[in-house]
Structure 1
Amino acid sequence: MKFKKTILNFTIFLFIFSILFSSCEKKMTPGEAKEIAKEAYVYGFPMVVNYKTMYNYTLNEKSPEYKAAFNEKSCEARVFTPEDKAIVTPNSDTPYCMFWLDIRSEPIVLSVPEMEDDRYYSFQLIDLYTHNFAYLGTLSTGNKAGKYIVAKEGWKGEKPNGITDILYSETDLFFVVVRTQLIDANDLPNVKAIQEKYQIQELSSFLGEEPVKAAKIDNSLAWNDGDEFTVASLNYMNFMLNLTKPVASEVELRNKFAKLGLGTEKGFDINSFDEETQKAIKEGMQTGLKKMTDFATEVTTTDPMASTKIFGTRDFLTKSAKGNYNLDNFYVLRAIAAQHGLYGNSAQEAIYPTYLMEAAGVPYDAAKFNYTLTFKKDELPPVNAFWSFSIYDGITQLFIHNELDRYLLNSNMLEDFVYNEDGSLTFYMQKDAPEDALKANWLPAPNGPFYCTMRLYGPKEEAVNGEWINPPLLKLVK
Structure 2
Amino acid sequence: MRIGRRAALAGLMSLPALAEAQDTAATLHDLARRATIYLFPVYEMYRARWRATADETNPQRQRLNRFRHMPTLADSRTRDVTTPNADTLYSSAWLDLSLEPLFLTVPPVGDLYYSYAFIDLFTDNFLVVSHRARGNGLATHMIVGPKWNGDAPGDVTLVRAPTNSVWLLGRILLDGPDELDRVRILQSRVLLETPDMRNERRILETGELMRFRTQAPPEPVADWPAPHPDEPFDLFDTSLRALGESPLPERDRPLFEALAPLKLKPGRKFDQRSFSDIERHAIRAGIEQGHADIRAAAGRGRTIDGWTYGQRHLGNFGDDYLYRAATALTALGALMPDEAVYVSCAVDADRQPLSGALRYTLTFPADNLPPARAFWSLSAYEVTPEGRAFFIDNPIDRYSIGDRTRGLTRGPDGSLTIHIQRDQPPREHADNWLPAPAGPMRLVLRAYQPDAALIEGRYRVPPVRRNSSP
Superposition TM-score tier, normalisation by shorter sequence: 0.7 to 0.9
**1:133 counterpart SS class:** strand
**Distance of aligned partners of 1:32 and 1:217 in 2 relative to their CA distance in 1, 3 Å threshold:** farther
Structure-1 residue corresponding to 2:184: 192
Structure-2 residue corresponding to 1:17: none
1:171 aligns with 2:163: yes
Q: Distance in 2 between matches of 1:146 and 1:428?
A: 42
Aligned residues: 433
Aligned residues of 1:89 and 1:340 also touching (Cα < 8 A): yes
Match of 2:373 among 384, 397, 400: 384
Residues 427-446 of structure 1 aligned to structure 2 (within 5 Å): 427-446=418-437
Q: Distance in 1 between matches of 2:313 and 2:367?
A: 29
**1:374 counterpart SS class:** strand
Q: Distance in 1 between matches of 2:432 and 2:181?
A: 27
Identify which range, 76-85 or 303-312, moves more after superposition.
303-312
Where does structure 1 lack aligned partners over 5 or more consecutive residues? Answer: 1-25, 319-328
Residues 107-126 of structure 1 aligned to structure 2 (within 5 Å): 107-116=101-110, 118-126=111-119
Residues 298-377 of structure 1 aligned to structure 2 (within 5 Å): 298-299=300-301, 301=303, 304=307, 306-313=309-316, 317-318=317-318, 329-358=319-348, 362-367=352-357, 369-377=358-366
Amino acid at match of 2:182: N
Aligned residues of 2:242 and 2:267 also touching (Cα < 8 A): no
Structure-2 residue corresponding to 1:132: 125
Residues 247-258 of structure 1 aligned to structure 2 (within 5 Å): 247-257=249-259
Structure-2 residue corresponding to 1:59: 54
Aligned residues of 2:301 and 2:310 also touching (Cα < 8 A): no
Instruction: Indicate the RMSD between aligned Cα atoms, in angstroms.
Output: 2.4
Structure-1 residue corresponding to 2:64: 70
Q: TM-score, normalised by structure 1?
A: 0.85
Structure-2 residue corresponding to 1:40: 35
What is the Cα deviation at residue 73 of structure 1? 1.5
Q: Distance in 2 between matches of 1:304 and 1:151?
A: 39
1:453 aligns with 2:453: no
Aligned residues of 1:106 and 1:212 also touching (Cα < 8 A): no
Match of 1:422 among 413, 416, 422: 413
Structure-2 residue corresponding to 1:160: 153
Structure-1 residue corresponding to 2:82: 88
**Distance of aligned partners of 1:363 and 1:102 in 2 relative to their CA distance in 1, 3 Å threshold:** same
What is the Cα deviation at residue 361 of structure 1? 8.9
What is the Cα deviation at residue 183 of structure 1? 0.7
Amino acid at match of 1:388: S
Q: Distance in 2 between matches of 1:241 and 1:248?
A: 13
Q: Distance in 2 between matches of 1:470 and 1:181?
A: 23
Aligned residues of 2:54 and 2:222 also touching (Cα < 8 A): no
Aligned residues of 1:124 and 1:178 also touching (Cα < 8 A): yes
Where does structure 2 lack aligned partners over 5 or more consecutive residues? Answer: 1-19, 201-211
**Distance of aligned partners of 1:392 and 1:435 in 2 relative to their CA distance in 1, 3 Å threshold:** same
Aligned residues of 1:304 and 1:355 also touching (Cα < 8 A): yes
1:149 aligns with 2:145: no
Q: Distance in 1 between matches of 2:154 and 2:35?
A: 44
1:273 aligns with 2:275: yes
What is the Cα deviation at residue 360 of structure 1? 11
**Distance of aligned partners of 1:141 and 1:240 in 2 relative to their CA distance in 1, 3 Å threshold:** same
Q: Distance in 2 between matches of 1:73 and 1:388?
A: 26
What is the Cα deviation at residue 30 of structure 1? 2.1
Q: Distance in 2 between matches of 1:174 and 1:427?
A: 38
Aligned residues of 1:254 and 1:263 also touching (Cα < 8 A): no
Aligned residues of 1:125 and 1:174 also touching (Cα < 8 A): yes
Structure-2 residue corresponding to 1:13: none
Q: TM-score, normalised by structure 2?
A: 0.86
Q: Distance in 1 between matches of 2:266 and 2:339?
A: 37
Structure-2 residue corresponding to 1:399: 391
What is the Cα deviation at residue 451 of structure 1? 0.7
What is the Cα deviation at residue 71 of structure 1? 0.7
What is the Cα deviation at residue 297 of structure 1? 3.9
Between the two proteins, what is the percent identity of the paired residues?
27
